[in-house]
Structure 1
Amino acid sequence: MKDGLRIVAGEWRGRKLAAPEGDTTRPTADRTRETLFSMLTSRLGSFEGLKVADLFAGSGALGLEALSRGAAHCLFIDQDPAAIRAIRRNIANLQAQTRSEVRACSVLSLGPAREPLDLVLLDPPYGTGAGAVAIDKLARLGWIGHMTWISLETARDETVSIRGFETETMRDTGKARLHILRWQGQS
């Protein structure tokens, strides 16, 4: 277990999180997560009652942070077995089972959504373009709607351009670049 991963704010502030064993995942640093949630709070106002997805979830830290701040439900998706174990362990330790769903699959294998989510958090492997591909597909399948806020973390030197999406804001923090996106519809 990697040391130092904690919930930044809310109901579970300061609680430790388990990171997946091995080095196939790169957990979002606490400071980067704090910056991201500050950016989101200034746009959303509150996380109360939101339906959230944490995609390429790793430890689940992003989705658990949203739950700690009042989100109603979070769908965690990752295909790495070590990540799934860490996510389930973190959910159990925080007693968040009733507000969480974990799926061990590729983000790209998701089928059509019943309704759009309020917030989609993506932290794919840097330099792969997987986040842009996932966002495009999720919009076509109804997971992302006009009211959905989207957070995409990339490496600091990556740019993001997804047809039909507008970058609301972007901020560099450490080695990461945080993009907040909104869907404008198909162009």
Structure 2
Amino acid sequence: MSASGRIRIIGGQLRNSRLNVPELPGLRPTPERVRETLFNWLAPVIDGARVLDLCAGTGALGIEALSRGAGATQFVESHALAARALKDNLARLKVSTADVAASPAQVWLGNTGTPFDLVFLDPPFADNLWAGLACTLEQGGWLAPSAWIYVESPRQQPLDLPDNWVIHREGVAGDVQFALYRRTDAKPLAATDPSL
């Protein structure tokens, strides 16, 4: 995080807007360079997308998505101070197509799911929530049939993700690995023909 406690939206209608960021242990905003790469990948599919920013933290990913044309974003953040700061930033930026739930991700996902087109899965690294949240997203009706899922995790951390999440693009920045997955319902072909 920058020393000023502010981070910048880097593209779209809210470009160069600043988000106020509270000083909280474990709060780790996605770096600008990674966000730029991710949203270059998402450019063909972001317009009108229904987005879930799970373990939202600063909300930078979800707000960046809205800035670049997403239809609506649901933010879920367990830390009350971070959730309050996120609500304040959205109000200051006059964003009306967003909702903030101050709740632990697993608790919020215990509700009835409505499918999202794009999910940001970037939980606090120390909590090791990737597998549990991914399983709940997949089984709880939270993902559209061809949803995109962005996952950020420590470099070389093994992740146990659903088999039908297929890596589309991936990268590394310092001690962080990041990947964009595409959900598929297709079952793999049986390799009965040696030529397959």
What TM-score results when the alignment is normalised by the length of structure 1?
0.89
The Cα RMSD (Å) is: 1.9
- Which residue number corresponds to residue 14 of structure 1? 16
Contact 2:130 2:160 in 1 (8 A): no
Is the 2:48–2:70 Cα contact (8 Å) retained in structure 1?
yes
1:23-102 alignment runs, 5 A limit: 23-41=25-43, 45-96=44-95, 98-102=96-100
Alpha-carbon distance, 1:59 to partner: 0.8
User: When you count strand as a share of all residues, which structure comes out higher?
Assistant: 2
The correspondence of residues 140-151 of structure 1 with structure 2, limited to 5 A, is 140-151=139-150
In the alignment, structure 2 segments of 5+ residues that lack a partner are 188-196
> Moved runs in structure 1, 4+ residues, more than 6 A?
none
Q: 2:103 aligns with which of 101, 105, 108?
A: 105
CA distance in 1, matches of 2:162, 2:13: 37
1:126 to 1:27, Cα distance in 2 relative to 1, 3 A: same
**Change in CA separation of 1:167 and 1:160 when aligned onto 2, cut-off 3 Å:** farther
* Structure 1 residue 170 corresponds to structure 2 residue 170: yes
Residue of structure 2 equivalent to 1:121: 120
- Deviation (angstroms), 1:101: 0.6
Q: CA deviation at 1:14?
A: 0.7
- How far is 1:136 from its partner? 1.1
Aligned residues: 182
Aligned residues with identical type, % of pairs = 34
Which of the two has higher C-alpha Rg?
Answer: 2
For residues 38 and 146 of structure 2, what CA distance do their matches in structure 1 show?
Answer: 18
Tell me the TM-score normalized by structure 2. 0.85
**Unaligned ranges ≥5, structure 1:** none
